[in-house]
Amino acid sequence: MKKFVLSRDDLNPSDYSIEYEELLNEAQYSAVMHDRGPVLLVAGAGTGKTRTLVYRVARLVESGVDPSQILLLTFTRRSAHEMLRRASQILDERCQRVEGGTFHHYCSKLLHLNAESIGYPENFTIIDASDAMDAIHLVRSRMDIPKEQKRFPKKLTLYSIISSSINKQRSIRQTIEDEYPQFISHLEKIDELNSKYQDYKELNYVMDFDDLLVKTRDLLLNNDEIRTQVASKNRHVLVDEYQDTNALQAELTRLLSSYHKNVMAVGDDAQSIYSFRGADHKNMMRFPELFENTKIIKLEENYRSTQRILDVANRVLEEAQEKFDKKLYTNNEQGDLPGLVKAANMNDQSRFLTQMILNLREQGSELSDIAVLFRNGRDSFDLEVMLNKKDIPYIKYGGQKFTEAAHVKDVLAHLRVLLNPKDAISWNRILLLIDGIGPKTAEDLFSWAHQNGNPFRPENAPNISERYLTQLKALGDLFSKLKQLKGSVPEQLQAVVDYYSVFCKKRFDDHPKRMKDLETFVDISGTYRSLETMVEEIALDPIEATAIETEASQKDESPLILSTIHSAKGLEWRTVFLIQCLDGILPSGYALDDEDQLDEEVRLLYVAVTRAKEQLFITYPALFQSRYGDYFSNPSRFIDELSDELIEPWLLVEDNEASQQSQIEDKKDRLEN
């Protein structure tokens, strides 16, 4: 028996209601009981990192720390909620009062509270990446960019350059030199555009995602009083998924914990998969440099997976050029050999999946114990069609979001100008819908609205052409109605949807589906406390596209999970299928000529594999079907060399009778449609 000397806390260990020592292993226990000062918790996949955080929250609350003085920063809002829910379960409801969310959420909250100090009004609007790109587009069109021989970067590229320079804390020049050398000749213009873009946002009281971090950093850095006030409130700061934080977030972590210096960063450098967002897994190893007297605790025993799954995971990690000094081990059972399934084509792959899933369900598995993972959002389209056909309920994480679809953004824009009349991006969007109004007229109308009184009566503007006068009146009427309906989000939303339906029909061929989406949106909008919270939460935490459909159909069975690997971070399922494991997809074709990026793709595969508890299947089609034609494809270079002892090859064979049957069904389906 090892002895562990506890430093005295507010509460004597023997007085705790939870038996931490029995419920945790030694390393977990020491993390949970850690008293003061910075800690770096290096936790491999499935080693109980979440469990440790949950118990630490409970332990802190139980020992008398005011829950509102604990800050739990996580990668998604979902995971913060889940952790606090679990902490509440093992202790009590007090844990729900812990301050939790993403860096962006927390920063947003601080900025709203201290808006005055940064020269913003309290009602500033948060714009998402696509709004930001619209703004950049607008700014660019106002500059005169000479039509040189060389192409000027597109708005997407410009946004990436600007965002990357911020998240990696480098100059625009450095960013272009490192990542976009082809645009170095445009450096001056890009610099100018960037500063105009920054001005534009301040002028219109909007902030993009990066501003939330930058402006909070600046607020805390430049304002001693506020920093002391904020940091002294954060008695304990816990940061999850630290391997995916960037330089800016590391600095924020330091500032936020600068008073009490009780900070615990938790992560696994082998699972760092967000470098495209400026994250640097080396951040983790730099933590002890940034925080003096850091205690390092390692969690090494895996409780999640069978040994055979871990064998594959360990082998995968060897593919990386940069070695990790870790090998996952477990005392769990050996388990079944993972399967490597080669399907003839994508359709067969989907058939295999649906049939396996139905089999598992028959054997008593919950659908929600099964996950299908993939590299890109679109890799599941074929499967989704088949799941729909077979009536298997699923929810998909990652890929296109519901609230990012054009029709939803259109509707939201009408509500956003209500909250922030200076939001030029939304005005632009609204006005461009109207027949006869293009970019120029929209801009003129907006600048009129800014200088003169009431932007909500756009028909009063001068020089209005007959072509769109009545339409502008209708818009004005909509705003009056919205103001009357103040306080009821669903009614306001319904009014916009009614107004918008005519535009929807004109703009989209698939308007019936889109209108149905919008009606569902109206239905669920009652869950938001106010228009302000709805608009803000949707920007920071967009609704998943399938969440709305699942809500609509109200299936009583908990759904199957489809997810991009990125969105599957931190989660686990009994059975995991990784589909489309092809060279050019995983690793992505974009990563092939860069060693660092290839390493990240290895880590991505590693994350996917380590999500599985009991069963793992990696599948790929031999024939890749694209719009330009079909061609034979190779399995991912990372799995191609795995030996049969590690992963068992599966062969799909047709049951002739059954295949005839399914052909008949296919025919029936076609006749019915």
Partner DNA sequence: TCTTACCCAGTTTTT
Partner DNA sequence: CTGGGTAAGA
175 binding DNA? (CB under 7 A): no
Can you tell me the distance from the alpha carbon of 403 to that of 407, in angstroms, rounded to the nearest whole number? Answer: 9
Stretch that binds DNA, among 56-64, 375-383, 617-625, 635-643 (CB under 7 A): 375-383
381 binds DNA (CB under 7 A): no
- Name the H helices within 325-453: 346-362, 381-389, 406-419, 424-433, 439-451
Strand partners, 246: 279
* Alpha-carbon span 287 to 284, nearest angstrom: 5
Phi and psi at residue 428, in whole multiples of 5°? -55, -45
Which C-beta is closer to DNA: that of 440 or that of 670?
440
Q: By CB under 7 A, what part of segment 593-652 binds DNA?
A: 627
Smallest separation, CB 252 to DNA (Å) = 13
Residues 6+ apart with CB under 8 A from 487: none
Cβ nearer to DNA, comparing 58 with 591: 591
Note whether 436 binds DNA by CB under 7 A: yes
Q: Is 88 in the site for DNA (CB under 7 A)?
A: no
Which member of 36, 378, 516, 667 binds DNA (CB under 7 A)?
378
Among 169, 365, 460, 588, binds DNA (CB under 7 A): 588
Give whichever of 253 and 441 is closer to DNA, judged by the CB atom: 441
Do the Cβ atoms of 226 and 219 come closer than 8 Å?
yes
Of 4 and 381, which CB lies nearer to DNA in the complex structure?
Answer: 381
71 binds DNA (CB under 7 A): no
Binding site for ATP: which residues? 43-50
Give me the 537-556 binding string for DNA, x by CB under 7 A, dash otherwise: ---xxx--------------
Closest contact distance (angstroms) between CB of 437 and DNA is: 5
Give the separation between CA 557 and CA 394, rounded to whole angstroms.
10
Enumerate the β-bridge partners of residue 59.
none
Binding mask 266-305 for DNA (x = CB under 7 A): -------xx-xx----------------------------
> For DNA, which residue of 376, 501, 550, 625 counts as binding (CB under 7 A)?
376
The whole-angstrom separation of Cα 332 and Cα 318 is 22
Q: Which of residues 38-57 bind DNA (CB under 7 A)?
A: none
Query: Which phi and psi angles does 618 have, rounded to 5°?
Result: -110, 125
DSSP-derived secondary structure for 437-462 = --HHHHHHHHHHHHHSS-TT-GGGSS
In the set 46, 399, 421, 621, which binds DNA (CB under 7 A)? 399
CA end-to-end distance (rounded Å), the chain: 70
Interface with DNA, residue 516, by CB under 7 A: no
| Residue 397 Cβ vs DNA, minimum distance, rounded to whole Å | 7
What is the footprint of DNA within residues 178-207 (CB under 7 A)? Answer: none
Q: What one-letter code names the amino acid at 78? A: R
Could you give the string, one character per residue 227-266, with x where binding to DNA holds by CB under 7 A and - elsewhere?
----------------------------------------
Query: Which residue, 36 or 378, is less far from DNA as judged by CB?
Result: 378
Residue number with CB closer to DNA (361 or 511): 511
Judged by CB under 7 A, which of 217, 566, 611, 613 binds DNA? 566
CA–CA distance from 44 to each of 298, 373, 464, 594 (Å)?
Answer: 8, 20, 64, 26
Residue 228, CB half-sphere, CA atoms under 13 Å: how many? 3
Q: Does 103 bind DNA (CB under 7 A)?
A: yes
Name the one range near DNA by CB under 7 A: 4-12, 38-46, 149-157, 526-534: 149-157
Residue 509's CB is within 10 A of a number of other CB atoms, namely 8
Cβ neighbour number for residue 476 with a 10 Å cutoff: 17
- State the Cα–Cα distance between residues 398 and 375, nearest whole angstrom: 10
The answer to the question of residue 150 lying near DNA (CB under 7 A) is: no
Show Cβ contacts of residue 531 under 8 Å, excluding neighbours closer than 6 positions: 415, 418, 419, 489, 492
Q: Are 352 and 390 in contact (CB under 8 A)?
A: no
* Cβ pair 577, 562 in contact under 8 A: no
Tokens 């399967």 sit on residue = 339
Residues near DNA (CB under 7 A) are 75-76, 102-105, 128-130, 137, 154-156, 209, 273-274, 276-277, 375-378, 397-399, 405-406, 435-442, 510, 540-542, 564, 566-567, 588, 590-591, 627
